[in-house]
Amino acid sequence: MFKNPSFVFSIFGSTGDLTYRKLLPALYHLKHRNRLSEDTVIRCIGRKDYRKEEYIAIIEPWIKKQSRFNFDQNVFDEFVKHIQYIKMEFTEKEAYTTLLDYPIGLDNLYYFAVAPEFFNVITEGLNHVNYLNDFKHRVILEKPFGDSLSHAIEVNRVLSQSFGSENIYHIDHYLGKEMIQNILAIRFGNRMFESVWNHNNIEQIQITASETVGVETRGSYYEQAGALKDMLQNHLLQIMSYVLMDKPDTLSSKDMLIRQKAVMESIVLDDLVLAQYDTNGDTLAYRNEKNVHPNSQVETYAAVRVHLHDGELKNVPIFLRTGKRLNQRATYIKIIFKPSSSNLYSNLHQEVITIKVQPDEGVSLSFNAKKPGTLNTITNVKMDFCQSCILENRINTPEAYERLLDDAFGHDDTLFTPWPIVEMSWKFGETIRSFVSEQKRSLVYYQANTQGPKEANEMLNKEGFEWLDEDEISY
């Protein structure tokens, strides 16, 4: 396998949780796969006063813990040769003179693993020392892409002026997950699915992203984000666009953008529930978590009902939900078909396609079959493909950040979120907030480690539906 070209990769926020848990393990994996050229420089920029040796000692156990390969000390020793640690106060413009000593002729790629209020600060600092005048410079932005629609637009304006709009990569790591990429293959690579993926056959669609953890050490961040900004208006909307889009002409980023925009422009918000987890036994309530306001009104759970006013899935009810401190950790999609019109059999079950994204990866199909015996009794059976159960698949499947960084290094932006979709996601977020205000919707509460608030169940129950767990089928 060919290596990516040499470049300078600068991580702002190199002593943060994201860098330790995701970015550096992903870079180690690329080194393990021989995807980093010998001249590539990884500059880890942080505020803490570390010598390189101290920083290496900190990151080694993280990489050992997060590695999808058996840890190889020789590979690690070669990997850390790429690393420079630079102590820098990136809010001080003069500090950027530290970065002027860089290899001549190499492209520069920056990763802003910091809060969105620092995106423009860093860009202005790079401009202050005329750092962006020579060679090619690209930037990867970690979500959330701003803290409001107006802020996101301003950030995009400043970064576009400095880097060029084509050199801004908005990373949504969900798009790097294997089964998200598989959605299009399942839909458009199989006649049996492609022909029925429309409003004539599908009764409803459910997309769930549930977590068992609380906010842990991210209370300050979560107070600014909440479930809507953190998960729903980016991750879940991205997944939804793949599930709902009409067939693109090609899989190019240009053609995918056309179909994604059509979905985003067609979304209609019908109903929602915002909730916050409360105490349950020894589990703290959200308001009692570290760095959380004692009277916080921030939602840790969000469920919405939407539909499209156009396209093949026009008017199909679509339910999205996400939350923390729930009873299962799972991300999955349920395509629930309308009951069969056959009058030959009684007690027919609904057919359901389940796409499992994490922690398990795979696809299952539940359908009707005759129960063995002398009677024409119908039973529900399931065919299950577990992709992550196959050792070869686990070994050969890159982690999301590994896949996306590799693509960015190779100048492939296909799996990154283009600015128009970012902007439209923010507009949908504004629509939600307007809906809450106009409908005078108040925050509700749910016990930690449960399925979520009863109000979210009621939202489906009034249509004769119910939320389905990952392995649950519809009757």
- Which of 32, 235, 307, 349 is catalytic? The answer is 235
Q: Which helix (DSSP H) or strand (DSSP E) does residue 293 occupy?
A: none
Q: Which helix (DSSP H) or strand (DSSP E) does residue 37 occupy?
A: none
- C-alpha–C-alpha distance, residues 306 and 456, integer Å: 14
Q: Between β-strands 202-210 and 318-323, what pairing exists: parallel, antiparallel or unpaired?
A: parallel
Question: 48 in the Ramachandran plot: left (φ > 0), alpha (ψ -120 to 50) or beta?
Answer: beta
Specify whether 349 is catalytic: no
- Which of 306, 308, 231 has the alpha carbon at shortest distance from 263? 308
- Which of 365, 369, 361 has the alpha carbon at shortest distance from 353? 365
Residue whose structure tokens are 């050229």: 37
Residue whose structure tokens are 């696809």: 363
CB count in 10 Å sphere of residue 169: 24
Cβ pair 152, 146 in contact under 8 A: yes
Q: Which helix (DSSP H) or strand (DSSP E) does residue 460 occupy?
A: helix 454-461
Computed on alpha carbons and rounded to an integer, the radius of gyration of the chain in Å comes to 24
Residue 266 CA to its chain's centroid (Å): 22
- C-alpha–C-alpha distance, residues 83 and 73, integer Å: 16
Q: Which two tokens stand for residue 213?
A: 């953890």
Residues near 68 by beta carbon (within 8 Å), at least 6 away in sequence? 29, 394, 395, 399
- C-alpha–C-alpha distance, residues 11 and 413, integer Å: 19
Residues near 180 by beta carbon (within 8 Å), at least 6 away in sequence? 174, 238, 239, 242, 357
Q: Return the active site residues.
A: 235
